[in-house]
Amino acid sequence: MEPHRPLRILLVENHDDTRLSLCLLLEQCGHEVHAVETMHQALEMLALRDWDVLLSDIGLPDGNGWELLERAAPQHELYAIAMSGYGMNADRERSLAAGYRHHLVKPMAPEQLECILQSVEPSAARGAG
């Protein structure tokens, strides 16, 4: 298996402590992370550059992660990972139907997230560019 390469990750999380902890964890793993708190901030960042991964909370102050991906998907080819305190089968199914490849239930083990990120290919996640 090819060594893991750094990814450009857009993190969408409105809870301050969770956002900070995830940023630190992902940066320690060598990833480039930009964190925002709202759906609208995420849409703005998605318009500014290409990202390898969208890691988004489902519950956001100005919408939800499902709506975010629905609005972003037509313009961006994203490897999207949902994270939420909602862990019922219906929540997982809704995330997968929205286009998320994984639905992680918080609190999640750091190893679980990093294992998923190791399977992401930066060049494939960015499409042609």
Q: Please check whether residue 81 lies inside any domain of the structure.
A: yes
Q: Please check whether residue 2 lies inside any domain of the structure.
A: no
- CATH assignment of the domain containing 91: 3.40.50.2300
Three-point CA angle 123, 127, 129, nearest 5°: 75
* Single pTM value for the model: 0.90
Bridge partners, 81 (sequence order) = 55, 102
Tens digits of pLDDT across the chain (129 residues): 344 689 999 999 999 999 999 999 999 999 999 999 999 999 999 999 999 999 999 999 999 999 999 998 766 778 999 999 988 999 999 999 999 999 999 988 999 999 999 989 885 444 433
Q: Please check whether residue 55 lies inside any domain of the structure.
A: yes
Task: Tell me 79's DSSP state.
Answer: E
E strand or H helix that includes residue 67: helix 65-72
Task: Tell me 53's DSSP state.
Answer: E
Which residue segment(s) compose the domain that 70 sits in? 8-122
Task: Tell me 4's DSSP state.
Answer: P
Cα separation, 64 vs 120, whole angstroms? 24
